[in-house]
Structure 1
């Protein structure tokens, strides 16, 4: 019976259903299956990227026509997030076989846990579930607030302008280049809703793929902790039987190898999107922070502050869970040391020593080999973001004089 993974997966499946990704379903390469299970994803992909292309064109036109730095950077974070959402969902979409293989590995690991102290095991699993629920809820709430602010802020701006001047000046959430006038009242309501649904798609794609990442990492870390508990208690206080030990040890060695393979599989699915995430996060945080401080309108300032919080949380949690996997894999070495290895003969102790030495080389996730996914990388991203932010503020000051 699955302890954690299936329960956690069910709680985030709704995020993917809205996008059109079916994580746990076998989809054949037939016209019927493609239409039934892929059409929503394709429609959402086209819907989202029409606005993304329009935003890129707006920046190009704005730069050619001498738009201010504030206006040019206003839409840049949104473009970055659109591209990130595309890469993250495409990573799942194109690695469908690897995703299903990972799910199978995690379920097998949870279903092949040795019998032992059930109280301790339930406590370890409960801690993993509790932490994961809190993180997923916080991310979903912040994402929902950000989308809501993008929806509401233009309405508030129009309302305040009407109160001040008695005239309605139509405003849109994002600056997008169209082949028609989007501020014409005939088109404006449709363009407005199109942009908001695009913002929702971006947010739900990033949040969904990240929540799946957290779920897999939590399951892996929980398995490492359960393995540590079993290793620490593999040698009984009395009545040691070498044959019984050998049988238990083989099972633990297979479990250890299976958990490490799960990390490798997770790495192969997310490594390319993580690289893009790492490379662009400094710019995203920098530009979002710049907009939050440079915009005079309090509505848009609050919108970008929530955007900044979401961006910081997203990259922090990515690094945090990567760090958790590294730490929990290395703690297997401590578990061997905490076992009663000193009470057994050299042959048995040698088996434990091999596991201890292997565990000292951490299982880890990387950004396509460019950098390890851990909290050290997060501090480097923040440092780079601050440098870029300071440079932008310096460039902005002359334009205000």
Structure 2
């Protein structure tokens, strides 16, 4: 996939430059026309410094061309700013006006060149953000230079005209990736910051599974945009498909129970319970989005800053513990769901196609009512995909919420432990004012952690209640199936299901006990 992306970027740059060749030719002619023509002009423009900065910045083809053109644009903007800033006004109004008119024309010419530059390179930049750290704001220095000019002694008409030159660059010129973004160092900083948010190290596994079902669990920034159309489509596709499968399984359960097929009814009921837990956890997190946002911002504010605080909080210890448990739990549930999803397909491929031991036929991973004959026609494949998709959705809904609880509870425990250690190691100074200030800070910090715990209980309370209720039934149903005599491979599936359900209950109880111990 990385090779395909590399080829796609290279091809897109080649094609866009070929497509924009007439505009590129005009831009080169314009650059040639305003290029320094002799040694004296090269010194005035400080050409050598811009040539040196251009050489190491580019890499290949289009990037080198952009590097060369953008460097010359920066050179002209800087030269104009120096000329305006260093110009000494004379007493002749007409001479001053000619200078100002020439500066405005020169500025307009560079701005027009920038428009051509953005027209040519806009789409390639949008497709490839490789050059985001190179070109920064071009025109910002011009208004400063005009303001610093010795205009105090100038004619009032000149000062009025100079306002135009000061105001015009206030709308800063940028290299643009079409209309979507300006390319600056700040843009690169923002992108890196989004990737390296420290608190997200605790949340990375939970966010991965939430993204798979089309949910953004929280937003730390109030100014962040709403969920994209793509995210909403993924979410509703997951919910609708899972609901349809649940309805089909419910109809099958009623039919099996009425016909006295108790084992099949119990089997389907365990699947329905699995769906209920996954769906309830997804929906409650979606419903409590506002509370989740507040909790995430509170955790971000309380997160230890810098190496010294990280050592005091023993951050790495808690982060490693959370990551280890999250990874193991994710692996266990992924193994569970894909064992169930692919079991029927693997039976067909191994027993019938490979070993030729018995005829298995095309079967679906889960028992579900389907009002037509699907075994011997093309509808088998959409049904197989739908059930696999639903199984993964239910599993991801459970995994994501459990991992989010794991990450949040770990941080709550970390703050409680840090507070305990701080109070235990603190030595009283004997100064009432200083000691009372320490006590007040401690109480405020404790109150803040308690408030965070209340928010966690508000968000996860009902899903945890449903989790315990349904998981208890699922454990009983799976245990019952294992005692009635089933094939060895089916025993493996049921044991994995039982072990995963018990692990889920244990994980929740484990973190509940950790919080209780930390508080006490």
Q: Is the TM-score greater than 0.5? A: yes
Q: CA deviation at 1:131?
A: 1.4
Q: How big is the shift at 1:247? A: 1.7
- 1:132 positional shift: 0.8
Judge conservation of contact 1:5–1:215 (CA < 8 Å) in 2. Answer: no
Aligned residue in 2 for 1:41: 235
The SS at the match of 2:250 is helix
Instruction: Say if 1:157 and 1:299, in contact at 8 Å, map to a contact too.
Output: no
Quick one: distance in 1 between partners of 2:357 and 2:217? 52
* Residue 278, structure 1, aligned to residue 476, structure 2: no
TM-score (norm 1): 0.74
Residue 262 of structure 1: SS of its match in structure 2? helix
Q: Which residue of 2 aligns with 1:208?
A: 400
What is aligned with 1:381? none
Aligned position for 2:434: 244
Once residues 11 and 170 of structure 1 are traced to their aligned partners in structure 2, the CA distance between those partners, rounded to angstroms, is 35
The 5-angstrom pairing of residues 328-367 of structure 1 reads 328-330=518-520
Q: Separation in 2 of the partners of 1:167 and 1:110?
A: 59
Q: Which residue of 2 aligns with 1:314?
A: 504
Which has more radius of gyration? 2
1:160 to 332, 338, 351: 351
- Which residue in 1 is equivalent to 2:121? none
By how many angstroms is 1:212 displaced?
0.2
Query: CA offsets, 1:64-99, max 9 Å, x none?
Result: 2221x2211112111001011111111110110000
Please say if 1:6 is aligned against 2:208.
no
Instruction: State the Cα deviation string for residues 156-178 of structure 1 (Å, max 9, x = none).
Output: 43342575676452211100002
Secondary structure of the equivalent of 2:475? helix
1:306-344 deviations in Å (ceiling 9; x for gaps) = 1111101111111111111111011xxxxxxxxxxxxxx
Determine if contact 2:216/2:227 at 8 Å carries over to the other structure. no
Question: Does residue 87 in structure 1 map to residue 280 in structure 2?
Answer: yes
| Distance across 2 between alignment mates of 1:107 and 1:161 | 55
C-alpha distance 51-272 of structure 1, shift in aligned 2 (>3 A): same
Q: Where does structure 2 lack aligned partners over 5 or more consecutive residues? A: 1-192
SS state at 2:303 partner: helix
CA 166–145 in structure 1, closer or farther in 2 if over 3 Å, else same: closer
Q: Once superposed, what is the RMSD of the aligned Cα atoms?
A: 2.7
Q: Distance in 2 between matches of 1:283 and 1:32?
A: 38
C-alpha separation in 2, matches of 1:9 and 1:283? 30
Mapped pair 1:104 → 2:300: no
2:273 and 2:229 map into 1 onto residues whose CA distance is 30
Tell me by how many angstroms 1:288 deviates.
1.7
What is the alpha-carbon distance in structure 2 between the residues aligned to residue 153 and residue 299 of structure 1? 9
Give the alignment partner of residue 457 of structure 2, picking from 267, 274, 287. 267
Q: Distance in 2 between matches of 1:89 and 1:325?
A: 24
Deviations 1:119-155 (A, max 9, x none): 4x25x32221121111101111111111221133213
In the alignment, does 2:410 pair up with 1:223?
no
Query: TM-score when scaled to structure 2?
Result: 0.58
Aligned to 2:52: none
Contact 1:234/1:248 (<8 A) preserved: no
After superposition, what is the alpha-carbon deviation per residue over 1:183-210, rounded to whole angstroms, capped at 9, x for unaligned?
Answer: 2332112211211111111111100010
- The structure, 1 or 2, with the larger RCO (C-alpha pairs under 8 Å, 6+ apart) is 1
Contact conserved, 1:85 with 1:202, CA < 8 A, in 2?
A: yes
Contact 1:89/1:205, CA 8 A, preserved across alignment: yes
State the alpha-carbon separation in 2 of the partners of residues 319 and 22 from structure 1: 26
4+ residue segments displaced more than 6 Å: 1-4
Q: CA deviation digits over 1:205-227, x for unaligned, max 9?
A: 10001000010000000000000
SS in structure 2 opposite 1:126? helix
Q: Within 5 Å, which residues of 2 pair with 1:125-140?
A: 125-140=315-330
TM-superposed CA distance for 1:14, in Å, is 1.3
Gaps of 5+ in 1: 331-401
Q: Secondary structure at the match of 1:108?
A: helix
